[in-house]
Structure 1
Amino acid sequence: MSLRDYAKKRRFDRTPEPRPEKSAGKAARELFVVQLHHARRRHYDFRLQVGDVLKSWACPKGPSYDPEVKRLAVEVEDHPVSYAAFQGDIPDGYGAGHVDTFDTGVWATSGDAEAQLEKGHLRFQLFGERLKGSWHLVRGHRQEKKPVWFLIKDEDAYTSKLEADDLLDARMVDSTRRAAGKSGGAKEVAEKLTRTKRKTTPAAKKRRPPSMAWVAKIEGAKKRAAPSGFFKPELATLRETPPTGDNWLNEVKWDGYRILTSINRGEVTFWSRNALPWTDKLPEIKQAVEDLGLESAQLDGELIAIVDGQSDFNALQQTLSGESATPLLYVLFDMPYLEGYDLSRVPLIDRKAALERLLRQAPEQLAYSGHVVGGGEEAFQSASAHRLEGIMCKRADSPYRGGRGDDWVKVKRLEADEFAVVGYTDAKGSRKGFGSLLLARPAPGGEWSYVGRVGSGFSDDMLRELTRSLARAGSRTPSIKHAGEAPRDAHWIAPTAVAEVFYRGIGNQGLLRQPSLKAMRPDKTPNDLRRGDRARKPAEAGKSRGGKSSAPAPITITHPERIVYPGEGITKQDIVDYYTAVMKWFLPGVIDRPMSVIRWPGGINKPSFFQKHIPAGGLKQVGSARLKEETGASAVYLYPVDADSIIELVQYNAIEFHPWGAHVDKPDCADRVVFDLDPGPDVEWTRVKAAARLMYKLLEQLGLQSFLRATGGKGLHVVVPLKPAAPWDEVKEFARSFAEVLESMYPLEFVSVSSKAKRAGRIYVDYLRNGRGATAVASYSLRGRPGAPVAMPLRWSELGRLKSASQFDMRSALARLKRQRADPWEGIDKIKQSLKAVKKALSAK
């Protein structure tokens, strides 16, 4: 998604609207905003944050709460996220008029928002002050200059006859009246507002039970004044196997955040398990709990994100950080207090019965955590078969006691584990703070045993914070007894923090294989790991309960018969087979590099869209890392870790692969410079080849070896490897200067600016692919164009015989690789050359 159209339509030296490059980036949660725009024709602007932009629609009459009313919504250009906070007057020009904020909040959708929009039907929920409940955006079938959609309210508790104009406050009403003289539409609305009694918020149908008298009849309930604030949660002890007997209730162990709810005089507050306030982070959950209509209560549960019917911790974190809009669910499993009665001494099975009764007509954001009585082993096997995190086993007759005890037991299925942080290694290259964290697990005798280090999965903010808290000092002497195969540059510290880490089995020295940070756990301490709050020993990871190694589940290719390239009859399965066949050559150029892919869910004759983030729950074999972009904002990028990553992306309808010129472990420095020679429509192919030869010679004169790639499109790539890698700003400045020098030396051949007006008859030297976050198509990647062309790396000696940039297609590429003994770019990552050496050589001259 691009903000290019947004920028083209505005003069930022005249308008107060935010510039694209000054976007606020990701919000804490994916937000929506509706703005009342008094332009030439008064209308509402409806905007949903999808990724790092606001998808936008102009809605003349605004949203309606009546499901029978289909409100016209005309799709307009994407806006920067920072536009959500914009209010004020736009001067004469594009969109002139006054802008007010009508409503803002967070929104959620089940599944991939981009995929739903591409298909033409987005189902979503709004959690604002004025706009609440479930809605639909449905694309119309008529061909118009701009895509036409319809905004429709879904049938739910908020359905009514209310219109957007009915919900305006006094300030926005005054704005409408002031604008009435400029537009007949505004005048009509102003007259209507004079007659209409306005409301400040839609009224939900109350779900409170008709009577709460049944609470007093719960055996063991004691009348007590309503408590307020945080209450100490009951904690579980980890066991290897579930307990047996019918005195145990077995529940699903949800993979999320423990959330405690306190309701006092109708005021809802949320707390984490270690007493941190969470109320402001969860507006939709707060709204749902308020809809229960309770005056006082204490509720205990887990905040989760549901993806494909399972709780997904990654999706939860992405939603809370604003990377996705997966619906959140508050799963409740206990209730120590309700409406004036202390239930903490009531047996658990009776507390749960009361909780289930309370939640029978609860909003969809609240759920009851069911259980089975007895059969712990069968329950655990079932949870493992469904790839759940594990089970919770609780004594059926137990009271609610804060703290850790034997009444609650957890048994976890292994895929990730928690470890104490016992040190760090030095940062290398341009990375700041530290290189990796050293990890340990509890060992017999109260000691700690080293299990490896983790250096990926950290955000920039996390690096800074951990550097301040962990890496202030450090000793070269190990702080743990069993240091094992620790690195020589280790700085050792006392165990103070807990990291939750993904890993792929255990190596011969007992070290984690391919560890990646899942999350830091500020809610836990190393002592918690000693007390049994950790998972099974890592040595047991990767084994089933029968002791056999468990292999990853195969990637299922859905709709393999779907035609992707209609002109060639190439199917989705053909694309899978292609990437499988070229994987040996393709993978070295993309592995561990942040990446954007282009997806064609309906084939190349249908709309495509850009994907750089992992959709909630959509990918299981692909790595993810939070990285800073050139704008200063950060985003969670996907990156391939192995061949399975590529095939899974193809299953997700990816055709083109566009990696960064940097690796995920060193995202601040580029190890490749890419020049894209993009010819104007009237430039002969022989001139493009001559331009590439000229660049080769000039770069050689600078002491830089370069490589050639046919893009599969119109032009050629000239690629310069760097070792050591260089900071992005240095690489971009070098590329820009080189392109400008080319233009000054050969003004009739080259142009270094992207303006189409200046590119007629010349070759555009696109150096902008060298900015942080910019990408270039990968070698051996298919292109989503008729003919199924392939981006093919070449030897410079092959340039003379090259007939076009799209000479190689899927079939001829495979035929070429069968004959190919060595990759034309073999050794590219071993070449030692740097921009500093170039500068030094030039200064010497």
Structure 2
Amino acid sequence: MSLREYQRKRNFKSTREPKPDAAVPEGSRTLFVVQLHHARRRHFDFRLQVGNALKSWAVPKGPSYNPHTKRLAVEVEDHPVAYADFEGEIEEGYGKGHVDQFDRGVWSTDGDPMAQLKKGHLRFELFGTRLKGGWHLVRSGRKERQQPWFLIKDDDAFASDVEADDLLDTKMRESTRKAAKSESARIAAKKSTARVRKAPAARKLGKTSLIHQAKALPNAKKAAASAEFFAPALTQLRLEPPPGDNWIHEVKWDGYRILATIAKGKVALWSRNALRWDDKVPDILQAVDALGLDSARLDGELIATDSQGRSDFNALQKTLSGEAQHPLVYVLFDLPYFEGYDLARTPLLERKALLERMLGHGRRHLAFSSHTQGDGVEAMQRAMDFKLEGIVSKRIDSGYHSGRGGDWIKVKRLEGDEFAVVGYTPPKGSRNGFGSLLLAKPDPDHRDGWLFAGRVGTGFTDKSLAQTAALVTKNASRKTPPNLRNIDPLLRDAWWVQPSLVVEVNYRGMGNNSLLRQPSLKTLRMDKTPNDLRNADRSPAKKASKPAKKAPTKTARTRSTSNDADTSLVTITHPDRVVFPGDNITKQDVADYYSSIMQWFLPSVLGRPLSIIRCPEGAEKTCFFQKHPVQGLHRVGFVRLKEEKGSQAIYIYAKDANSVMELVQFGTLEFHLWGSMADNPDKADRVVFDLDPAPKVGWKRVVAAARLLRTWLDRIGLASFLRTTGGKGLHVVVPLNPGCPWSQVKDFSHAVASTMASAYPDEFIDTASKVKRSGKIFVDYLRNSRGATSIANYSLRARKGAPVAVPLRWEELAKIERGDAFNIHTLPKRLARLRKDPWEGIDTIEQSLDTALETLHKQQ
């Protein structure tokens, strides 16, 4: 949304209000804020975040909890999201006066908020300290310069006769009294001090009878309440549901496991790995609090639902990261403790019955996970029919036990289809015949074409492996079939065959690149030929009236050949969003790039604290530099590290390929790394010299500088490695094994930079001053301090053309013409030609600064 009107009305040289280009908070829920503004006329500013701006209304009398009271709300200009933090004086100009924060929280709505505003009626919920429950903004029919609306409270459990002035704290009342100059302001000041009331609370449930019922349950035991995290019961994965009537079957909800503890009336929400989620989901916190319980333990799944009522994991991620505003639901399926009674040994059906009675009916944001008893096959079939995630089967008489005890079993939905075999990979280890079969399906756009669909290497018996190998390895060739598209460029060791064999495969959906997820062989279909796959129940191939054009080549549409590089657990949303507008590169192209080069990219980033650059709306719009976790990240690693000022903070790091792809899903383009590992952050194992040329410094001078630095390092016994930055310069990187303290590394790198600047003052400089850098190369040593980062090998850069930082052999330097010589399109072609990484062996070199400095002293 445009903030031009906001900017036009303000002089930012005389106001402390945030500028319109202030950054939007990273990965946070969409927020609302209400500010008490003592301007020329006292009013409340009511603001809702929609996208990257706050839609704003001036409400003269403030919000009312009375559903029969319509409060005038005059629409004003959009404000930047950073305005939610603003308090204090506006000394001059537009809006002059004092601003207090009345309330702040998150908000949600069913459907598209902009579409509702356009129609003139926005229905929404607020989750703040003072304002809670459902509300309406209804546009007035009057046509005025500033559009009037009405702010109306929904008639829900929070409805009452409380007014905004009843909820002012001491600070806000004093501000109102001081600002009472006009008659209307004096009336407001008098009214605001008339009485002090609390924000309405939702109506509580009657729990006396429920406590008696809990006390009477089998094996219920009196026990003290605890506010501490409790380890959840976990499931075991099976291929089929268990038989018999002693099992119940629930929907496998596609969301995040959440545990709730209530002690002395205070609610706490926990993730399954013991992280507090109170601030992430205040809507759920308020819903559980509204139950009015003194003590309990609840177990359930946090979900967002699609239009058909199914749990939608993508919608949940978008809501938690602030990209969308889907209402959240906490689906509860167990109650191991209730109002002073430990129910962990009570049979499951008895616990669930009490839980269902406790929840009652019509509690928004809370739901009961219903079940069926017996006939697990039918329950699974229903899940298949409705395309649900699967089912969870539980013993009806089981207690609640932490961990995987076998009483809870999950069965995921399997899909199956038939594919043509178009090749195979060589066997590894003790396996004979082949490693995996390469599969394809008919290409709907080309009559005789095929689309690569992935590979299958599991599900074979010794007999089927030998039988298949005898059939498929005949007449194999290294030459790729000309009518096969979407091939993984990293399949350099593949053997290809003309389609002749059909196999039936089970799998768990499709991955990011339309490749099979977790495929497993079901059977060989000796009764079918590949031509049988082009039948009526498939999309027929389009008959082209003109010669078919060659399909545009997508950069690396498949995963790495390494098992560790499997990225199928992360779904890329908004794949068609253009990330590099000038080059028409989409978010899917970026995901495909990182997926395709994962076996090269991953070794250098694993286990290192990360700082990333996220560009959710594209490289040419606002980008964020992020090093701490945000809501919605679940596949990255978290580590608590001390910062330079002594405080501690949580940092992120990549655990595996799915960590990388989750960050890409969150809009990450660039990956920057610490020079140390997350498990040993105080010891640097890399020294990075960034040769950064000033404008108009030729590339040949940068190349000469890198060679000069290498020679200097060689003299003191330090091997070095080379990297283009994807920008103008080069990085010279020195590995350290064993590592050295950061203070020593920083002093050493500074000394090297100073030495070069002193020896060649017309060529180099060791200060960052742009005034002094004209015509010189800055030897940037500042990346060698604790917490500083440098670009990762093979990382994209958020710059025009999507350039890439690329490691090189020193022998290649003469062939490179600039620091951004490689990009998203050309790098995979380079990697396809390489036999090994240019930096192979960097982690096995044994060298330290102590030894280097001793050598230096001997030379002097």
TM-score interval for Structure 1 and Structure 2 normalised by the shorter chain? 0.5 to 0.7
**1:241-273 CA distance string (max 9 Å, x none):** 97765576444688746546578xxx5677999
Instruction: Tell me, in whole angstroms, the C-alpha distance in 2 between the residues paired with 1:618 and 1:711.
Output: 28
CA separation of 1:43 and 1:657: change in aligned 2, threshold 3 A: farther
1:707 alignment partner in structure 2: 721
**1:810-843 CA distance string (max 9 Å, x none):** 3443444455455433332232221222343455
Secondary structure of the 1:829 match is: coil
Counterpart mapping for 1:503-582 below 5 A: 553=568, 560=575, 562-582=577-597
**1:145-189 CA distance string (max 9 Å, x none):** xxxxx99999684589988666322333224544x49xx99x986
The answer as to whether partners of 1:73 and 1:151 remain within 8 angstroms in 2 is no
Of residues 192, 208, 211, the one that matches 2:188 is: 192
Of residues 574, 582, 590, the one that matches 2:605 is: 590
1:410 alignment partner in structure 2: 408
**1:651-685 CA distance string (max 9 Å, x none):** 55443332332334434432212222333335444
**1:325-383 CA distance string (max 9 Å, x none):** 996837264599899xx9x999956973783475312242x332322233346557888
The answer as to whether partners of 2:347 and 2:396 remain within 8 angstroms in 1 is no
- Structure 1 position 656 matched with structure 2 position 657: no
- Structure 1 position 804 matched with structure 2 position 841: no
Counterpart mapping for 1:441-520 below 5 A: none
Instruction: Tell me, in whole angstroms, the C-alpha distance in 1 between the residues paired with 2:716 and 2:676.
Output: 22
Of residues 828, 841, 844, the one that matches 1:830 is: 844
Structure 1: which amino acid aligns with 2:225?
F
Query: How far apart are 1:626 and its partner, in Å?
Result: 1.8
Structure 1: which amino acid aligns with 2:190?
T
**1:510-539 CA distance string (max 9 Å, x none):** xxxxxxxxxxxxxxxxxxxxxxxxxxxxxx
1:75 alignment partner in structure 2: 80
Secondary structure of the 2:827 match is: helix
The answer as to whether partners of 1:251 and 1:393 remain within 8 angstroms in 2 is no
CA separation of 1:698 and 1:556: change in aligned 2, threshold 3 A: same
1:331 alignment partner in structure 2: 332
Secondary structure of the 1:628 match is: strand
1:302 alignment partner in structure 2: 299
Instruction: Considering Cα pairs closer than 8 Å and 6+ residues apart, tell me whether 1 or 2 has the greater RCO.
Output: 1
Instruction: Tell me, in whole angstroms, the C-alpha distance in 2 between the residues paired with 1:98 and 1:570.
Output: 47
CA separation of 1:698 and 1:335: change in aligned 2, threshold 3 A: closer
Instruction: Tell me, in whole angstroms, the C-alpha distance in 2 between the residues paired with 1:152 and 1:205.
Output: 20
CA separation of 1:128 and 1:245: change in aligned 2, threshold 3 A: same
1:470 alignment partner in structure 2: none
Instruction: Tell me, in whole angstroms, the C-alpha distance in 2 between the residues paired with 1:359 and 1:288.
Output: 13
Instruction: Tell me, in whole angstroms, the C-alpha distance in 1 between the residues paired with 2:851 and 2:135.
Output: 59
1:373 alignment partner in structure 2: 373
Q: How many aligned positions are there? A: 621
Instruction: Tell me, in whole angstroms, the C-alpha distance in 2 between the residues paired with 1:42 and 1:686.
Output: 66
1:393 alignment partner in structure 2: 395
Query: How far apart are 1:302 and its partner, in Å?
Result: 1.2
Structure 2: which amino acid aligns with 1:301?
L
CA separation of 1:826 and 1:260: change in aligned 2, threshold 3 A: closer
Query: How far apart are 1:635 and its partner, in Å?
Result: 1.6
Instruction: Tell me, in whole angstroms, the C-alpha distance in 1 between the residues paired with 2:231 and 2:728.
Output: 64
The answer as to whether partners of 2:336 and 2:351 remain within 8 angstroms in 1 is no
1:698 alignment partner in structure 2: 712
Instruction: Tell me, in whole angstroms, the C-alpha distance in 1 between the residues paired with 2:779 and 2:661.
Output: 33
1:288 alignment partner in structure 2: 287
Instruction: Tell me, in whole angstroms, the C-alpha distance in 2 between the residues paired with 1:712 and 1:237.
Output: 46
CA separation of 1:190 and 1:782: change in aligned 2, threshold 3 A: farther
Instruction: Tell me, in whole angstroms, the C-alpha distance in 1 between the residues paired with 2:199 and 2:234.
Output: 44
The answer as to whether partners of 1:291 and 1:363 remain within 8 angstroms in 2 is no
Instruction: Tell me, in whole angstroms, the C-alpha distance in 2 between the residues paired with 1:703 and 1:382.
Output: 68
Secondary structure of the 2:583 match is: coil
**1:569-619 CA distance string (max 9 Å, x none):** 344454455445544443333334333443444443343334556665566
1:455 alignment partner in structure 2: none
Query: How far apart are 1:108 and its partner, in Å?
Result: 8.3
The answer as to whether partners of 2:167 and 2:199 remain within 8 angstroms in 1 is no
The answer as to whether partners of 1:100 and 1:172 remain within 8 angstroms in 2 is yes
The answer as to whether partners of 2:613 and 2:671 remain within 8 angstroms in 1 is yes
**1:745-782 CA distance string (max 9 Å, x none):** 55555444445455444444333333334332222222
**1:691-744 CA distance string (max 9 Å, x none):** 434433433344322222221122222212111122334333433443345445
Give the TM-score, by structure 1 length.
Answer: 0.56
The answer as to whether partners of 2:391 and 2:411 remain within 8 angstroms in 1 is yes
Instruction: Tell me, in whole angstroms, the C-alpha distance in 1 between the residues paired with 2:767 and 2:37.
Output: 35
1:436 alignment partner in structure 2: none
Instruction: Tell me, in whole angstroms, the C-alpha distance in 2 between the residues paired with 1:41 and 1:835.
Output: 68
Query: How far apart are 1:639 and its partner, in Å?
Result: 0.5
Instruction: Tell me, in whole angstroms, the C-alpha distance in 2 between the residues paired with 1:58 and 1:633.
Output: 36
Instruction: Tell me, in whole angstroms, the C-alpha distance in 2 between the residues paired with 1:40 and 1:797.
Output: 72
2:360 alignment partner in structure 1: 359
Secondary structure of the 1:174 match is: helix
Of residues 718, 734, 737, the one that matches 1:723 is: 737
Identity among equivalent positions (%) equals: 40
- Structure 1 position 630 matched with structure 2 position 673: no
CA RMSD of aligned residues (A): 6.5
CA separation of 1:243 and 1:816: change in aligned 2, threshold 3 A: closer
Of residues 680, 683, 686, the one that matches 2:694 is: 680
**1:286-326 CA distance string (max 9 Å, x none):** 6434534x5x77755215544787699xx99xx9xxxxx99
Structure 2: which amino acid aligns with 1:230?
A
CA separation of 1:634 and 1:134: change in aligned 2, threshold 3 A: farther
Query: How far apart are 1:637 and its partner, in Å?
Result: 0.9
Instruction: Tell me, in whole angstroms, the C-alpha distance in 1 between the residues paired with 2:409 and 2:44.
Output: 52
Instruction: Tell me, in whole angstroms, the C-alpha distance in 2 between the residues paired with 1:328 and 1:653.
Output: 26
CA separation of 1:39 and 1:785: change in aligned 2, threshold 3 A: farther
Range 834-843 or range 783-792, more displaced:
834-843
Secondary structure of the 1:662 match is: coil
Secondary structure of the 1:352 match is: helix
CA separation of 1:177 and 1:786: change in aligned 2, threshold 3 A: same
Structure 2: which amino acid aligns with 1:633?
Q
Secondary structure of the 1:589 match is: helix
CA separation of 1:794 and 1:376: change in aligned 2, threshold 3 A: closer
Structure 2: which amino acid aligns with 1:625?
F
The answer as to whether partners of 1:661 and 1:770 remain within 8 angstroms in 2 is yes
Secondary structure of the 2:582 match is: coil
Instruction: Tell me, in whole angstroms, the C-alpha distance in 2 between the residues paired with 1:360 and 1:730.
Output: 65
Counterpart mapping for 1:585-624 below 5 A: 585-612=600-627, 616=631, 622-624=635-637
CA separation of 1:709 and 1:680: change in aligned 2, threshold 3 A: same
Secondary structure of the 1:607 match is: coil
The answer as to whether partners of 1:303 and 1:328 remain within 8 angstroms in 2 is no
CA separation of 1:252 and 1:302: change in aligned 2, threshold 3 A: farther
Instruction: Tell me, in whole angstroms, the C-alpha distance in 1 between the residues paired with 2:799 and 2:234.
Output: 57
CA separation of 1:612 and 1:362: change in aligned 2, threshold 3 A: same
Query: How far apart are 1:544 and its partner, in Å?
Result: 10
1:734 alignment partner in structure 2: 748
**1:177-210 CA distance string (max 9 Å, x none):** 44x49xx99x98676333446775675484457x
**1:418-474 CA distance string (max 9 Å, x none):** xxxxxxxxxxxxxxxxxxxxxxxxxxxxxxxxxxxxxxxxxxxxxxxxxxxxxxxxx
CA separation of 1:47 and 1:730: change in aligned 2, threshold 3 A: farther
Instruction: Tell me, in whole angstroms, the C-alpha distance in 1 between the residues paired with 2:674 and 2:246.
Output: 56
Instruction: Tell me, in whole angstroms, the C-alpha distance in 2 between the residues paired with 1:740 and 1:156.
Output: 71
The answer as to whether partners of 1:230 and 1:271 remain within 8 angstroms in 2 is no
CA separation of 1:804 and 1:166: change in aligned 2, threshold 3 A: farther
